[in-house]
Structure 1
Amino acid sequence: MEKLKRYVVFLIGLFVNSLGVALITKADLGTSPISSIPYVLSLNFPLTLGQFTVLFSLLLIVLQLVILRKNFRPEHILQIPVSFLFGYFIDLCMALLSFVQPQVYGMKVLYLLIGCVVLGVGVYMEMLADVVMLPGESFVRSVVFRWATEFGMTKVAFDVTMTVVAAVLSFVFADMLSGVREGTIVAALLVGFIARLINRRLEFMSQALFGGTPAPECSE
């Protein structure tokens, strides 16, 4: 019963996460670092943001297999169906928010901040469930495990790398910077802070929901 509740919380968190990504993207000030490469590609090719997110997630899973080798555990395979579901949720949320097209810069900033809060809540819920990691974080943890690096610095390096690669791809395909803007930096700074703040404020939730230990520290 506890496992079932954890997966329900995770699935809700995954949808909330997708809603946050969609809100940030709809703000038209860039998107979150982990979504920056799929977003830039979606602006230049026929596939949607969700579809490119699935492909990018599968690439990260393959890279984890290469990095971890014999330490790649069977439970890592769960990232595959989660990736497809995450991509579907993103496209669903983008469709549901089709009416969101802010023109004034102030409204764009507002949607960006709301998206960061929503995404932070989604990240917290996924960490609270503590059943499956999304490929982005799992990739970072694989690097930390393989080369004994510090998680926080590795996560920052990963986010920066994703953003830089997305910017380069934008110039290659569109001859201009598109899809990577100030909102990408804001999301990188705010989302993890919001998730950790919620985690500290709601430490009792793990005990209340699952009768176990507090949720692990949110590391996004």
Structure 2
Amino acid sequence: MVNYKRFALLSLFSATVALAISLMLRASVGVGAFDAMTQSLSVLSGIRIGTIAMVFNLLCVLGQFIILKKEFGFSRFLQIPLSILIGMLVNYFYYSLFASLQFDTYIASLGTYFLALVLATFSVSMVMVLNLVTFPIESFCLALTRAVPMKFAAIRQLVDIIFIIASIALTFTFGLSSPVREGTIIGMLFFGPLMGYFIRKVQPVLMKKGIVEEMA
């Protein structure tokens, strides 16, 4: 039997992921590795940030399909609407809803960034606990472990390093404003521990309500 509550919650927290990303971008104190790369490419090309993120995520889905072939299950296809939804919502939030959002002080920018980081971490934690679909980059890195002699954690870290190097290279080559700042470091330090904390808190609640089963 389909658990519609899980899909409803997946849609809700996918939307709040996009909301949080947009707020972090507007705060302008630095963003995560992937968002730094998409922001740099957006400034350079004129293509909207959410659209670039959408394309990269769909390419990650394609990469999984090429690597896994017949083992590419139905749950992985859910990454396609997830990528499109988040990309479209980032475009809406960043370019429409928050288009006129400005911060008068650095403290206000940093405070907004922290709030957005907590929201993003909580939302990602909820998506993981719901266990219906994983994010394309993580799934692609996991699929790569079958093709290259590296562990998932090492591949995922390497991908982030590549994103940051690409963003910095674009910044210096074309004289762009760098999206790699103190917020990038803050995110690297706090995202993992916060996600572990939220997962421990929300999983028992959703299990008690019968929405999810215990994660492996």
TM-score under structure 2 normalisation? 0.88
SS at match of 2:78: helix
C-alpha distance in 2, partners of 1:211/1:55? 31
**Alpha-carbon contact 1:67-1:142 (below 8 Å) kept:** yes
Counterpart of 1:54 in structure 2 is: 54
**Residue ranges of structure 2 left out of the alignment (5+ in a row):** none
**Do structure 1's residue 83 and structure 2's residue 91 form an aligned pair?**
no
Counterpart of 2:155 in structure 1 is: 154
Counterpart of 2:72 in structure 1 is: 72
Assess, with a 3 A threshold, how the Cα gap between structure 1 residues 73 and 214 changes in structure 2: closer, same or farther.
Answer: closer
Counterpart of 2:34 in structure 1 is: 34
Write the deviation string for residues 81-140 of structure 1: whole angstroms up to 9, x where unpaired.
221111111112212223432242222211111111010011011112111122122112
Counterpart of 1:6 in structure 2 is: 6
2:209 alignment partner AA: L
Counterpart of 1:140 in structure 2 is: 141
**Do structure 1's residue 179 and structure 2's residue 197 form an aligned pair?**
no
SS at match of 1:60: helix
C-alpha distance in 2, partners of 1:25/1:193? 22
Assess, with a 3 A threshold, how the Cα gap between structure 1 residues 147 and 70 changes in structure 2: closer, same or farther.
Answer: farther
Q: Which runs of 4+ in 1 moved over 6 A?
A: none
Counterpart of 2:119 in structure 1 is: 118
C-alpha distance in 2, partners of 1:195/1:91? 25
Identity of aligned residues (%): 24
Once the two structures are TM-superposed, the CA of residue 25 in structure 1 deviates from its matched residue by: 0.8
Write the deviation string for residues 30-66 of structure 1: whole angstroms up to 9, x where unpaired.
2222222211111122221111111111222222233
TM-score under structure 1 normalisation? 0.86
SS at match of 1:210: coil
Once the two structures are TM-superposed, the CA of residue 169 in structure 1 deviates from its matched residue by: 2.5
SS at match of 1:202: helix
CA RMSD of aligned residues (A): 2.2
Assess, with a 3 A threshold, how the Cα gap between structure 1 residues 118 and 166 changes in structure 2: closer, same or farther.
Answer: same
Counterpart of 1:169 in structure 2 is: 170
**Residue ranges of structure 1 left out of the alignment (5+ in a row):** none
SS at match of 2:31: coil
C-alpha distance in 2, partners of 1:203/1:191? 18
Assess, with a 3 A threshold, how the Cα gap between structure 1 residues 190 and 103 changes in structure 2: closer, same or farther.
Answer: same
